Structure 1
């Protein structure tokens, strides 16, 4: 198993600058943010020259990462393939195909995304739609030797009432998406606030985990007694502010990291555990983000031996 991080936490840094920092801190891999451009959603970045990446640029990227003895573990494009707007949905699908081609050119084994959701349709209607939507995506990825990994993020901010906006948040839905030829980018933090034990949930499915993310979560149960599981309902100005939990870097929340890493090891996972830094305490400036990544590294390095 290798230790890496998702580059989206440093949107203003170049891939070369990030690679130099990662190597200096003892990381071994990068999960490279591959959105088409910086948008208004937090924790996205464009660290590859997509959609028009030339052969020369591909070689330069491989050289930039390789000279620091790093691997690219995955390309990250977490958007909504079931977007309710037809034009937006088509753009997401097109960029997913672009990411698959870029991953194949760079020798990257996986591309990460979401299942997503149309918030105006039922879960059953969305799942039926997804079976059609993902078939050509999975086929294209298979032809290029790339696996599509789905993060089990809830994406509550995509639903007008804070309900799940990404239909991949539970083991029940994992089994459904595996039947479509999709794999899991496992993140324990989302399971914790959903009331699912992350170690118990992981153990039966390690063989379907192609990539894993390390994000912690800090829970405030006393606030949940006021808001309930969906979070703030009155005066919720920020769709991502549930009000009774927040994401943290590993070591600053309540995830059982020895248990998670042990379950991955025991199940035979030999891929990359990638820190996903969305911690508001260790955010705000690139220097503080880097400090947060150092904290994560100190927490996980004793568990993920190089």
Structure 2
């Protein structure tokens, strides 16, 4: 197992600079953010131009990675594949396919995305719609030797009332995804605040984990007593991501048992990349703080991995 990081936490830096920093600070792999260059959604970046991928871009990416002793673990484009606007949905699907093409040219690494949700329709209707629109994307990826994987992020900010905006947040839904040919980019942090033991949830499904995230979460029981499980409502219009009673943390600074988590991955035969996804507000806000957070993550995780 290698230790890597998702580059979305460094959106202001070019890939070459991110790769130099990662290699110099002991990381072994990069999960490259590959969102379109248009847009400014938080926690996104464009370190690989999937929508303009050609031989020159392939060479640029390969040189940045190989020149710093890094491997490529995955491409990251997490968007709403069930977007209610048909024009927007078509554009998202086109970019997923562009990421698949780039991943195939770069050795067949997995591509990460979301199932998503149309918040105006029921869960049952969304699942039936997903069964219609996702298999063609799975087939497109499979024909090119690429695994399409879904992260189990709740994406509560996509729903006006803070309900799950990505229908991939529980083991029940993973089994449904696997039937469609999708794989899992496993992230323990989302399960923790949902009240699901991340390690117990992971154990039966390690063979369907194509990639693994390292992100922690911290909960505050007293605040949950005030706001309830579904989170703060009074400020949701200004910040749909602020639930009020939990927050993401650097691995080792929250409540996920990373020793058990890593051991369960090893026990299940996982030999891929454990990729740090840095969304910790304590160690964010400036490039320098982000770097410090990533150094802490490396310090906490490296002793758990076989050299």
* TM-score, length basis structure 2: 0.98
Paired position in structure 1 for 2:56: 56
Deviation of the 1:63 alpha carbon: 1.7
Q: Distance in 2 between matches of 1:60 and 1:200?
A: 41
Given that 1:38 and 1:44 are in contact with CA atoms closer than 8 Å, whether structure 2 keeps it comes out as: no
SS for the counterpart of 2:248 is strand
Q: Is the 8 A contact 1:216 1:247 kept in 2?
A: yes
Task: Count residues in correspondence.
Answer: 306
Separation in structure 1 between the aligned mates of residue 251 and residue 225 of structure 2, nearest angstrom: 26
Partner secondary structure for residue 72 of structure 2: strand
Checking the alignment, whether the CA contact within 8 Å between 1:80 and 1:117 is kept in structure 2 is yes
CA contact 2:75–2:110 (8 Å) conserved in 1: yes
| CA distance in 1 between partners of 2:40 and 2:61 (Å) | 26
Deviation >6 Å, runs of 4+: none
Q: Identify the range of structure 1 (163-172 vs 217-226) with the bigger mean alpha-carbon deviation.
A: 217-226
Q: Structure 2 regions of 5+ residues with no counterpart?
A: none
Q: Which runs of 5+ in 1 are unaligned?
A: none
> Per-residue displacement from partner, 1:231-260 (whole Å, max 9, x unpaired)?
012232200000000001111111100010
1:169-207 Cα shifts (integer Å, max 9, x gaps):
000000000000000000000000000000100000000
Equivalent positions of 1:1-306 (< 5 A) are 1-37=1-37, 39-236=39-236, 237-306=238-307
Displacement after TM superposition at 1:286 (Å): 0.8
Cα distance between partner residues in 1 of 2:176 and 2:57: 37
Q: Equivalent residue of 2:75, what SS?
A: strand
Note if contact 2:108-2:145 (Cα within 8 Å) is conserved in structure 1. no
Report the TM-score, using the length of structure 1 for normalisation.
0.98
CA distance in 2, matches of 1:20, 1:252: 26
Q: What SS does the corresponding residue of 2:181 show, helix, strand or coil?
A: coil
Partner SS for 1:76: strand
- Offset of residue 38 of structure 1: 5.1
Instruction: Tell me the C-alpha RMSD between the 2 structures.
Output: 0.9
Distance verdict in 2 for CA 1:53–1:208, change over 3 Å = same
Conservation of the 8 A alpha-carbon contact between 1:217 and 1:246:
yes
Partner SS for 2:32: strand
Partners of 2:17 and 2:271 lie apart in 1 by 27
